[in-house]
């Protein structure tokens, strides 16, 4: 899959499936500094992803301080032709211009390679 680069961030487009609903999300940041994949609640709300009693909640720590997140299991996420089923993601407040971060939990677990020369994200 081709990576977009705006001079600051590396991004890709993905599709998220949740309880029979689908959402294509553009400009998800490839973030090798994030241990978890995170989506903004404003983005996922469109397909019915909301906090429910019993959802695991924790605080994430980063450069900007701490932020609460909750965890949800998506039916699947598609990154180009690569499909990940029953994948756990975090939902939490991100900076306004960020829709989501593709973190190491997915990048490393599924063996993705960020090829900076070809500007591609691919799996083995």
Dump pLDDT digits (tens) for 4-22: 999 999 999 999 999 999 9
Say if CB 49 and CB 72 are below 8 A apart: yes
Q: Is 16 exposed, middle or buried (0-12, 13-18, 19+ CB in 10 A)?
A: buried
4-123 has CATH 2.40.70.10 classification: yes
Q: Is 48 exposed, middle or buried (0-12, 13-18, 19+ CB in 10 A)?
A: exposed
Q: Is the pLDDT of residue 65 over 80?
A: no
pTM, 2 dp:
0.92
Q: What is the pLDDT of residues 13-55, one digit of tens each?
A: 999 999 999 999 999 999 999 999 999 999 999 999 999 999 9
pLDDT of 45 reads: 95
Here the tokens at position 42 are: 């404003």
Q: What is the pLDDT of residues 67-111, one digit of tens each?
A: 889 999 999 999 999 999 999 999 998 888 899 999 999 999 999
Here the tokens at position 8 are: 């600051």
């Amino acid at each position: 899959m081709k990576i977009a680069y705006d001079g600051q961030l590396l991004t890709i487009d993905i599709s998220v499936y949740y309880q029979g609903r689908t959402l294509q999300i553009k400009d998800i940041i490839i973030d090798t500094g994030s241990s978890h994949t995170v989506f903004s609640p404003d983005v996922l709300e469109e397909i019915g992803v909301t906090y429910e009693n019993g959802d695991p909640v924790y605080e994430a720590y980063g450069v900007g301080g701490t932020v609460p997140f909750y965890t949800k299991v998506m039916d699947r996420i598609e990154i180009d032709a690569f499909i990940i089923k029953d994948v756990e993601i975090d939902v939490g407040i991100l900076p306004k211009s960020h829709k989501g971060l593709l973190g190491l939990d997915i990048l490393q677990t599924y063996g993705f390679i960020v090829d900076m020369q070809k500007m591609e994200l691919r799996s083995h």
